[in-house]
């Protein structure tokens, strides 16, 4: 399976600096109000691992307290002082109501959830705390002596020689926990405390189906790889694509890329499709209804789309990525490279080529397509093939309102930032607060939304209503 990052994106995300004043006010076509969330002391603020909550209404970050002590600050409220705060934390729960992080006192490490310290251990592994989808459970891996094990809601699991990083997951319904462990020179998966068969390797990440009834992953015995579904091994191959397998949204189908000799092909429900010189990693997707399979294949030095085993070779490119279906399942779009240009292809129809392409999305109703494009040193948003105003930069993925009638994004002019709604510019600011290195707004209704922004040393929740 091949992998490539081919698209340029000039995005601008900052956490803290000054912003032009925007107290409660009225702008043409919009009402705007703000609420103070946190006042940040720049002398103690640590910008790494700054977090905003999933609902984009809260912030958490690390701060210095004295010469050596560290604290976690949530919405301006300081927590207890510790010798260390773990990298990658704090984290918010999916419902934004809880915060967890790794703390250290001396040579001991432990997890803190909502200010409550859990048991101390010799180490916390790569599986830093994760919340279940329903936000009711917390899991992580720990070290005690020379052994590793999983802790779920304070309950310790069986000890092993190691825990495989990146493989601790909850099922979508939050009722099941799965992870991969090491015993001697063997690796195996544990589901709800039950060990599955041991292998020489786990070759791709664990994944639950959306209905939480099935678990799949890639295993290796000797030099052969295979997919395991609910403990049952599939056919052996010379390789399995790293980002596979994938379940269809309805949980009825399973697909993955496999290698035999020097050829790659897609396997859908155990049926092998045509072999190619390559299947581009990350392009294999199901349609929203689970009835169609699409991926980018390579033959020679050209790439093309394959839809339900039918090749679309009339459109061949130097590279393909960002394959997406429209929510109504009626359209397929992707970004392509042709020479030194990049372009969007919708249902086989090419749009205008540009120097760069980023952030391709459909509207919720599937009737509109939007992306950011680059021409020279300027960026702009393209809506249904129509170019909007050029800027020095465009923030990350634009957002549609739930009814698909409004489009919002962040743009940059010089060193100023502004919000653009339906092509109309908002007042300029010095900075917009980031969300995990991604700028984000949240629509509350079809005509109202909110986001976080900074003004001086203060962070505000900004709420806007489109009139």
- Which pLDDT belongs to residue 3? 42
Say if 5 falls within a structural domain: no
User: How far, in Å, CA of 236 to CA of 234, rounded?
Assistant: 6
The token pair at 101 is 């992080």
Q: What is the pLDDT of residue 436?
A: 38
Average pLDDT estimate for 369-373: 96
Percentage of the chain exceeding pLDDT 70: 90
Q: List the beta strands (DSSP E) in 123-200.
A: 123-124, 130-131, 138-144, 147-152, 155-156, 162-163, 169-170, 177-183, 186-191, 194-195
Whether 9 is covered by a domain: the verdict is no
- Residue 314: exposed, middle, or buried by beta-carbon count in 10 A (0-12, 13-18, 19+)? exposed
Q: Which long-range contacts (CB under 8 A, 24 or more apart) does 120-128 make?
A: 124/86, 125/163, 125/165, 126/163, 126/165, 126/166, 127/163, 127/165, 127/166, 127/167, 127/168, 127/179, 128/86, 128/87, 128/88, 128/89, 128/91, 128/102
- State the pLDDT at residue 441: 67
**Tokens coding 430:** 């010095």
Query: Which tokens go with 94?
Result: 């999916």
Burial annotation 287-300 (CB, 10 A radius, 16+ → b, else e): bbebeebbbbbbee
Provide the domain count of the chain: 1
Whole domain around residue 176: which residue ranges?
Answer: 25-466
Residue 162 lies in a domain: yes
pLDDT of the residue at 451: 84
The more confidently predicted of residues 249 and 441 is: 249
pLDDT at residue 10 in the model: 36
pLDDT (tens digit, 9 = 90+) per residue, 160-202? 999 998 899 999 999 999 999 999 999 999 999 999 999 999 9
For the cut 70, the answer to whether the pLDDT of residue 6 exceeds it is no
* Cα–Cα distance, 356 to 375 (Å, whole number): 7
Inside any domain, residue 164? yes
pLDDT at 130: 96
Angle at 274 between CA 219 and CA 235, to 5 degrees: 25
Confidence of residue 1 (pLDDT cuts 50, 70, 90): very low
Dihedral class, residue 193 (left if φ above 0, else alpha if ψ from -120 to 50, else beta):
left
The arithmetic mean of pLDDT across residues 296-322, rounded, is 88
Q: pLDDT digit string (tens) for 89-148?
A: 999 999 999 999 999 999 999 999 999 999 999 999 876 799 999 999 999 999 999 999
Residue 393 has pLDDT above 60, yes or no: yes
Instruction: Please check whether residue 89 is in contact with residue 76, taking contact to mean a CB–CB distance below 8 angstroms.
Output: no
Residue 431 — very low, low, confident or very high, per pLDDT cuts 50/70/90? low
In order of 229, 297, 360, the CA distances from 307 in angstroms are 25, 10, 19
Nearest CA to 271 out of 238, 227, 325 is that of 227
Provide DSSP, 240-273: E-TT--EE-TTSS-EEEEEEETTEEEEEETTEE-
Asked whether the beta carbons of 4 and 242 are under 8 A apart, the reply is no
Q: What is the pLDDT of residue 410?
A: 86
Query: Among 406, 383, 411, which residue's Cα sits nearest to residue 396?
Result: 411
Report if residue 402 sits inside a domain: yes
Alpha carbon distance 104, 82 (integer Å): 6
Give the mean pLDDT of 224-228: 97
Span 238-293, pLDDT tens digits = 999 988 899 999 999 999 999 999 999 999 999 999 999 999 878 899 999 999 99
Report the pLDDT value the prediction gives residue 19, as an integer from 0 to 100.
Answer: 35
Look at residue 234 and tell me if it is in a domain. yes
Residue 2 lies in a domain: no
pLDDT higher than 80, residue 429: no
pLDDT of residue 16: 37
pLDDT surpasses 90 at 65: no
Considering only 9-23, 230-244, 293-307, which range has the smallest mean pLDDT? 9-23
Does the pTM of the predicted model rise above 0.95?
A: no
The answer as to whether 117 is a domain residue is yes
Check pLDDT > 50 for residue 13. no
């Amino acid at each position: 399976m091949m992998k490539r990052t081919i698209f340029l994106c000039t995005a601008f995300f900052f956490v803290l600096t000054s912003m032009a004043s925007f107290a409660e006010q009225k702008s043409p076509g919009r009402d705007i109000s703000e609420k103070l969330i946190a006042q940040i002391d720049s002398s103690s603020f640590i910008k790494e691992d700054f977090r905003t909550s999933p609902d984009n209404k809260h912030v958490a970050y690390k701060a210095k307290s004295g010469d050596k002590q560290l604290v976690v600050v949530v919405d301006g409220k300081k927590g207890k002082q510790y010798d260390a705060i773990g990298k990658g934390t704090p984290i918010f729960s999916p419902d934004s109501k809880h915060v967890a992080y790794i703390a250290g006192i001396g040579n001991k490490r432990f997890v803190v959830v909502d200010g409550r310290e859990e048991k101390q251990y010799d180490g916390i592994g790569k599986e830093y705390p994760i919340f279940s989808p329903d936000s009711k459970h917390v899991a992580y891996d720990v070290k005690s002596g020379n052994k590793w094990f999983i802790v779920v809601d304070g309950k310790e699991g069986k000890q092993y020689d190691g825990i495989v990083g990146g493989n601790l997951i909850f099922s979508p319904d939050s009722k099941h926990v799965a992870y991969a462990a090491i015993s001697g020179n063997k690796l195996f998966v544990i589901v709800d405390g039950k060990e599955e068969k041991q292998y020489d390797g786990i070759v791709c990440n664990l994944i639950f189906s959306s209905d939480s009834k099935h678990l799949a992953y890639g295993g290796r015995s000797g030099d052969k790889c295979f997919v395991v579904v609910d403990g049952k091994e599939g056919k052996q191959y010379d390789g399995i694509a790293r980002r596979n397998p994938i379940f269809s949204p309805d949980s009825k189908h399973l697909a993955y890329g496999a290698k035999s000799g020097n050829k790659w092909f897609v396997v859908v429900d155990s049926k092998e499709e045509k072999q190619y010189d390559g299947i581009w990693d990350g392009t294999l997707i199901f349609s929203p209804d689970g009835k169609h399979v699409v991926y980018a294949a390579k033959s020679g030095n050209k790439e093309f789309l394959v839809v339900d085993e039918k090749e679309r070779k009339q459109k061949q490119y130097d590279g393909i990525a960002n394959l997406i279906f429209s929510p109504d399942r009626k359209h397929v779009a992707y970004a392509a490279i042709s020479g030194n240009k990049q372009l969007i292809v919708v249902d086989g129809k090419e749009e205008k080529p540009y120097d760069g392409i980023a952030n391709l999305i459909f509207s919720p109703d599937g009737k509109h397509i939007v992306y950011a494009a680059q021409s020279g040193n300027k960026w702009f948003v393209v809506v249904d093939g129509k170019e909007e105003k050029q800027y020095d930069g465009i923030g990350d993925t634009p957002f549609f309102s739930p009814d698909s009638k409004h489009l919002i994004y962040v743009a940059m002019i010089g060193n100023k930032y502004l919000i653009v709604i339906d092509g109309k510019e908002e007042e300029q600011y010095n900075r917009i607060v980031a969300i995990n290195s991604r700028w984000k707004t949240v629509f509350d209704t079809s005509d109202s939304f909110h986001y976080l922004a900074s003004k001086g040393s203060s962070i505000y929740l900004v709420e806007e209503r489109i009139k």
